[in-house]
């Protein structure tokens, strides 16, 4: 089966940088997603890592180490609107995605 761990909650200050970690154990790994989900809304796609390394996209970057079963999402220049839940999800070769329970990020002024 799959097991995905990420912190339940994090708090950071507006303008700062925050790193949200995700560790996973899975068979048939095919990639790792990060999604953002505001309360009461559907998840929206942020990033997808297949190979090891850092993928940068504006204020958001995502890192993957397949050998360590580890990923992180880095958010720079935090804004109040970044307060949301951040979901780590692993995609398997069978096409199934398994999500973590999400990290609720609160950005304070």
Partner 1 sequence: DTGVSQNPRHKITKRGQNVTFRCDPISEHNRLYWYRQTLGQGPEFLTYFQNEAQLEKSRLLSDRFSAERPKGSFSTLEIQRTEQGDSAMYLCASGPDRTDTQYFGPGTRLTVL
Which residues here bind partner 1, judged by CB under 8 A? 4, 30-31, 33, 35, 41-45, 48, 87, 89, 91, 94-102
Residue 5 vs 77, nearer CB to partner 1: 5
Residue 15 vs 28, nearer CB to partner 1: 28
Residue 3 vs 13, nearer CB to partner 1: 3
Residues 6+ apart with CB under 8 A from 49: 31, 32, 55, 62, 63, 64, 71
Backbone dihedral angles phi then psi of residue 100, each to the nearest 5 degrees: -75, 175
Sole residue written with tokens 């990639």: 31
Residue 9 vs 52, nearer CB to partner 1: 9
- Residue 83 CB, nearest distance to partner 1 (Å)? 16
- Residue 28 CB, nearest distance to partner 1 (Å)? 12
Say if residues 3 and 24 touch (Cβ distance below 8 Å). Answer: yes
What the block records as the tokens of 60 is 């958001």
End-to-end C-alpha distance for the chain, whole angstroms: 41
């Amino acid at each position: 089966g799959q097991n995905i761990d990420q912190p339940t909650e994090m708090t950071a200050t507006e303008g700062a940088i925050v790193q949200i970690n995700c560790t996973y154990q899975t068979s048939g790994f095919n990639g790792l997603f990060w999604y953002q989900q505001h309360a009461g809304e559907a998840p929206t796609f942020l990033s997808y890592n297949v190979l090891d390394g850092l993928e940068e996209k504006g204020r958001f970057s995502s890192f993957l180490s397949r050998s360590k079963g580890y990923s992180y999402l880095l958010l720079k220049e935090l804004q109040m609107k970044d307060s949301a839940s951040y979901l780590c999800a692993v995609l398997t070769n069978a096409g199934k995605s398994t999500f973590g329970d999400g990290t609720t990020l609160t950005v304070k002024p």
